[in-house]
């Protein structure tokens, strides 16, 4: 069995990017972004772009951890990574196709109505955040700088990948009252808040200016290998043509959209 | 006559292997090398003296063997009787070979889950196997400890000790002590909670488990715990020195070396870095990460603990080996533990109490001004404190430390400690955009480069009595291989640019070198074959944290300086010297390879 997968890997490795196929790198267990069943919004956008280019989509899946790019894009198992940060180092990025923000997710009936990072209630509420192995998400760093540490609960962003959508544990922690509020990346917060019925609500995080150079809003693009300008240009054109349809998909998934650095959504 | 002698030697060796109940006893036989550390004291010293500075130039390759896959090969082969055992990097196949001829006797192929490859922080390495009572014990990347019949290669038991889906892997070489197999975990970067676990040698059942972080009952801190330093005294410090609950993902993995002192029945080992890396997220000392523990071998109870890098800022794991030596301290022979620290200090510590007698810099250190042996803490350099909004340059040593996992060796003849190590500094850059699992963030990146003098590695001899460096050989790349030393006064190591080197243990003079198929990050051993010849064996095959760039399958882009947690910046030219490999090389002075 292992030999077969090794052979398959070899085949994929040696296969050149074929005309008519958009080879997409994605995580097969990471809603709302992507999963194996194609239910994520990045799956939907990839399908949309492929259709625009008259290509079919072919996926190379890998766990989206720190070594994701090495195992997918740089192993030449696929050619495009949706959902990377615009201008990210070490990779060529397309024009951004949306921008979002970190958000607070809380239980609706608590009526916290929390949006500012400088809200004094953050000193006593139990705040859930995502932890990344050797780095931190902006809310953790900002709270740490404010000396808000003791009431912060960390959830590993990758968590246990044998369970569905590991990053969703943080949102479940709000639902299950392990924490009062989660400070989380908008697309995750928006999607799971919407799916909670009316149990959870989401507010964009504001009051972040004092924490520069920490940023809480990010423009999102597609990534290709450095030097793969032809593919980048093709994707740029398709993303522009499909911007209306992309906006509809993002809205349907509850992704909070913002405008930054002259990036207009959709 | 010669045939008879051979048969006798073989019989003797066989007898030893079959009856020796005590691994410590077996380790004293210099014809064999039964654990990567050579002995419980971790000296990696052999009494063999056929190969000497006078004849080492006559060394040649007697035989070689491929372990199959081109990943970083960090394992030490071991030799029991007339058989050599060696485990490769993932997929962790174990091979039994005739130690004299290189004939393959059997191989054991565990079914290691390929998904576990994605979880190892720094290449899919394995640091070796250990023999005890007729079985070979080793770990697989996907969190299994395996016992294999040393004669037949048949699996006796395999137990799963954790979930790699949560970021935990096993890479260290276990140690066998009094019928128990001691195993520690890896994955400090992934929020894994570190532990050392003792398994019953016959069944694989867990006898005890000591966590590195958390409440005293989990850390096995009880009435026998008498730490020397005040900062280590108090209840539940593994909880109280963390923000609430954060110890649960606090790290402190145990992926390095274990030593054992039969006289006091204590085991000694160090724990890894706290998680997450960003220190702003974990105010407090973060006990018991980067800590040396002394524990009862039977029960796991902690006896003392020295935390060397409280509130670690730079990823200074303290998993490095501890050598159990008797040294004169203030004129009195004293039972000490020598720990060449990741932070660049050579620690000499009292084995019974944990008192630190001395801590001398053996490489450039800017991150800490000194180590206060009265307080048991480093004196930090506030100018080099890392913060999420500040760039800091010129931090020495870099994250891999002055020395990482690669073990030193000590010769009682020269009274020198032989230190293979790196010489790197780093810049810490805040505010770099990254993303993981679809979530963008601003993180810090580190960029490593050669330290002062513009070299990246060194093989040094350190006089433990004079407390100073006696000689040093500068190397282009970090010396990421282990070393060993013999009564013949030779010391052996390998370089990442493919040189196998034998040097005079007294002067450091190069006696013999061989250009190998791939760079070295393995551990040399020596033994006597059935033909009476002394052999030296070492795996070539570059990789690991330092060498991941040269391994094609690791897929790192040399243009990205910050790959491999910042290490690729310092290693950009490595692919010009070597690619990956998997070859075991065995050297001797014996008659050249004429057909029999």
Q: Which domains does chain A have, with CATH numbers?
A: 2-98+219-252 (3.40.190.10), 99-211 (3.40.190.10)
Mean pLDDT of B532-541: 97
> What residues contact residue A245 under an 8 Å CB cut-off, 6+ apart?
A48
Query: A131 and B245: CB-CB below 8 Å?
Result: no
Cβ neighbours of B441 in A, within 8 Å: 132, 135-138
**pLDDT at site B304:** 98
| Interface check A266 vs B, CB under 8 A | no
> Could you report the per-residue pLDDT of A193-205, keeping only the tens digit for each?
999 888 999 999 9
Count interface pairs A-B at CB distance under 8 A: 177
- Decide: residue B454, CB within 10 A, 0-12 exposed, 13-18 middle, 19+ buried: exposed
Chain B interface, mutation test: which of A154, A164, A180, most B Cβ atoms within 10 Å? A154
Q: What would the mean pLDDT of B434-448 be, rounded to a whole number?
A: 76
Q: Which among A71, A160, A167 is the nearest to B118, CB-wise?
A: A71
Task: Mark yes or no for CB contact A63/B118 under 8 Å.
Answer: yes
Tens digit of pLDDT for each residue in B252-307?
A: 999 999 999 999 999 999 999 998 777 877 889 999 999 999 999 999 999 999 99
Q: Band of the pLDDT at B20, cuts 50, 70, 90?
A: very low
pLDDT at B562: 55
Residue found under tokens 């282009």:
B476
Q: What is the dihedral of CA B161, B164, B166, B168, to 10 degrees?
A: 70
Q: Which residues of B are catalytic?
A: 189, 273, 315
pTM of the model: 0.86
pLDDT at B431: 60
Sheet with B130-132, side-by-side order of all strands: B130-132, B135-140, B144-149, B155-160
DSSP alpha helix (H) spans, B253-320: none
Neighbours of B364 (CB within 10 A): 17
Label residue B553 by pLDDT band (50, 70, 90). Answer: very low
Residues A52-72: what's their mean pLDDT? Answer: 89
Q: Which CATH number fits domain B2-588: 2.60.120.960, 2.60.40.420, 2.140.10.10, 3.40.50.720?
A: 2.140.10.10
| CB interface of A with B, residues 118-177, below 8 Å | 130-138, 140-141, 144-145, 149-154, 156-162, 166-167
CA-based end-to-end distance of chain A: 44
Out of A142-146, A189-193, B12-16, B374-378, pick the least confident: B12-16
B243: nearest CB among A149, A157, A185: A149
Q: How confident is the model at residue A35 (pLDDT cuts 50, 70, 90)?
A: very high
DSSP-based three-state secondary structure for A81: strand
- Given this model, what pLDDT does residue B120 score? 67
Predicted local confidence at residue B594, as pLDDT: 55
> pLDDT: is A10 or B70 the higher one?
B70
Residue A261: exposed, middle, or buried by beta-carbon count in 10 A (0-12, 13-18, 19+)?
A: exposed
Chain B residues near residue A64 by CB distance under 8 angstroms: 436-438
pLDDT of B397 reads 97
Mean pLDDT of chain A: 88
Q: For residue range B415-429, what is the model confidence (pLDDT) as tens digits?
A: 999 999 999 999 987
Q: What is the mean pLDDT of residues B446-459?
A: 93
Cβ distance B281 to A188 less than 8 Å, yes or no, reads no
pLDDT at B550 over 90: no
Higher pLDDT among residues B485 and A136, named by residue: B485
Residues 443-462 (B) with a CB less than 8 A from some CB of A:
443-444
pLDDT of residue B435: 73
- Residue in this structure with the two tokens 């052996």, named with its chain if needed: B492
Summarised one tens digit per residue, pLDDT across range B188-201 is 777 789 999 999 99
Nearest to A131 among B249, B434, B440 (CB): B249
Q: pLDDT tens-digit profile of A159-212?
A: 788 889 989 999 999 999 999 999 999 999 999 999 988 899 999 999 888 888
Q: How confident is the model at residue B443 (pLDDT cuts 50, 70, 90)?
A: low
Contacts with B, A 231-260, CB within 8 Å: none
Q: What would the pLDDT profile of B83-125 be if each residue is shown by its tens digit?
A: 999 999 999 999 999 999 999 999 999 999 888 876 666 678 9
Domain boundaries, chain B: 2-588
The rounded mean pLDDT for chain B is 91
Q: Give residue B584's pLDDT.
A: 98
Contacts of A30 in chain B (CB under 8 A): 437-438
Which among A42, A64, A133 is the nearest to B190, CB-wise?
A133
Distance from CA of B359 to the nearest CA of A (A): 29
Question: pLDDT tens digits, residue range B307-364?
Answer: 999 999 998 999 999 999 999 999 999 999 999 999 999 999 999 999 999 999 999 9
């Amino acid at each position: 069995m292992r030999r077969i997968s090794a052979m398959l890997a070899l085949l994929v490795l040696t296969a050149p990017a074929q005309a008519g196929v958009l080879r997409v790198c994605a995580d097969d267990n990471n809603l709302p972004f992507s999963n194996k069943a194609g239910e994520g919004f990045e799956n939907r956008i990839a399908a949309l772009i492929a259709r625009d280019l008259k290509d079919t989509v072919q996926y190379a899946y890998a766990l989206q951890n720190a070594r994701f790019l090495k195992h997918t894009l740089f192993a030449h198992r696929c050619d495009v990574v949706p959902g990377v940060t615009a201008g990210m180092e070490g990779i060529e990025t397309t024009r951004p196709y949306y921008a979002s923000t970190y958000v607070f997710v809380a239980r609706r009936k608590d009526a916290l109505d929390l949006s500012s990072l400088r809200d004094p209630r953050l000193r006593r509420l139990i705040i859930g955040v995502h932890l990344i192995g050797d780095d931190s998400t902006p809310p953790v760093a900002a709270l740490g700088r404010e000396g808000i540490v003791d009431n912060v609960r960390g959830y590993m962003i990758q968590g246990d990948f044998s369970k569905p959508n590991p990053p969703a544990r943080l949102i479940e922690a709000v639902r299950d009252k392990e924490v009062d509020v989660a400070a989380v990346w908008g697309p995750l917060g928006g999607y799971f808040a919407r799916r909670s019925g009316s149990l959870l609500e989401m507010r964009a995080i504001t009051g972040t200016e004092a924490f520069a150079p920490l940023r809480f809003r990010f423009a999102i693009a597609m990534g290709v290998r450095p030097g793969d300008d032809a593919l980048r240009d093709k994707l740029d054109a398709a993303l522009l043509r499909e911007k209306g349809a992309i906006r509809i998909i993002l809205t349907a998934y509850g992704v909070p959209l913002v405008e930054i650095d002259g990036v207009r959504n959709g | 006559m010669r045939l008879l002698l051979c048969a006798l030697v073989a019989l003797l060796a066989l007898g030893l292997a079959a009856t020796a109940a005590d691994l410590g006893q077996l380790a004293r036989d210099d014809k064999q090398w039964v654990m990567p550390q050579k002995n419980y004291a971790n000296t990696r010293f052999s009494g063999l003296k056929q190969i000497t500075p006078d004849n080492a130039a006559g060394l040649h390759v007697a035989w070689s063997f491929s372990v199959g896959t081109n990943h970083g090969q960090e394992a030490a082969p071991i030799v029991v009787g007339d058989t050599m055992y060696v485990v490769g990097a993932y997929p962790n196949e174990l091979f039994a070979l005739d130690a004299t001829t290189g004939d393959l006797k059997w191989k054991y192929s565990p079914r290691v889950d390929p998904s576990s490859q994605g979880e190892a922080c720094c290449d899919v390495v394995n640091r070796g196997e250990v023999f005890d009572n007729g079985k070979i014990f080793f770990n697989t990347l996907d969190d299994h400890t395996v016992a294999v019949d040393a004669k037949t290669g048949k699996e006796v038991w395999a137990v799963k000790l954790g979930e790699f889906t949560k970021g935990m892997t096993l890479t260290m070489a276990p140690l066998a002590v009094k019928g128990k197999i001691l195993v520690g975990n890896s994955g400090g970067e992934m929020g894994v909670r570190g532990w050392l676990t003792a398994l019953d040698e016959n069944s694989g059942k867990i006898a005890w488990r000591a966590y590195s972080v958390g409440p005293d009952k989990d850390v096995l801190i009880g009435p026998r715990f008498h730490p020397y330093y005040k900062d280590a005294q108090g209840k539940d410090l593994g909880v109280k020195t963390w923000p609430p609950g954060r110890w649960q993902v606090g790290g402190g993995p145990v992926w390095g070396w274990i030593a054992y002192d039969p006289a006091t029945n204590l085991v000694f080992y160090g724990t890894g870095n706290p998680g997450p890396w960003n220190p702003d997220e974990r105010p407090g000392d973060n006990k018991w990460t980067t800590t040396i523990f002394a524990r009862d071998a039977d029960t796991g109870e902690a006896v003392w603990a020295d935390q060397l890098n409280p509130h670690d800022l730079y990823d200074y794991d303290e998993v490095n080996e501890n050598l159990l030596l008797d040294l004169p301290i203030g004129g009195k022979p004293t039972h000490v533990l020598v720990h060449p620290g990741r932070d660049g200090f050579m620690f000499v510590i009292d084995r019974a109490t944990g008192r630190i007698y001395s801590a001398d810099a053996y490489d450039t250190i800017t991150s800490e001004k000194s180590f206060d042996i009265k307080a048991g803490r480093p004196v930090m350099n506030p100018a080099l404190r890392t913060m999420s909004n500040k760039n800091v340059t010129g931090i020495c040593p870099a994250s891999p430390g002055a020395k990482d996992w690669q073990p030193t060796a000590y010769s009682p003849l020269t009274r020198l400690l032989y230190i293979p190590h790196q010489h790197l500094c780093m810049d810490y850059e805040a505010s770099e955009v990254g993303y993981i699992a679809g979530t963008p963030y601003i993180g810090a990146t580190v960029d490593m480069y050669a330290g002062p003098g513009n070299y990246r590695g060194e093989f040094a001899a350190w006089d433990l009595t004079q407390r100073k460096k006696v000689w040093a050989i500068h190397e282009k790349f970090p010396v990421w291989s282990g070393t060993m030393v013999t009564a013949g006064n030779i010391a052996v190591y390998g370089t990442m640019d493919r040189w196998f080197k034998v040097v005079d243990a007294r002067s450091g003079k190069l006696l013999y070198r061989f250009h190998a198929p791939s760079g070295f990050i393995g551990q040399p051993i020596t033994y006597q074959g059935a033909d009476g010849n002394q052999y030296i064996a070492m795996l070539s095959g570059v990789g690991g944290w330092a060498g991941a760039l040269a391994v094609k399958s690791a897929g790192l882009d040399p243009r990205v300086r910050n790959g491999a947690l910042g290490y690729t910046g310092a290693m950009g030219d490595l692919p010009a010297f070597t690619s990956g490999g998997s070859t075991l090389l065995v050297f001797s002075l014996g008659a050249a390879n004429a057909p029999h």
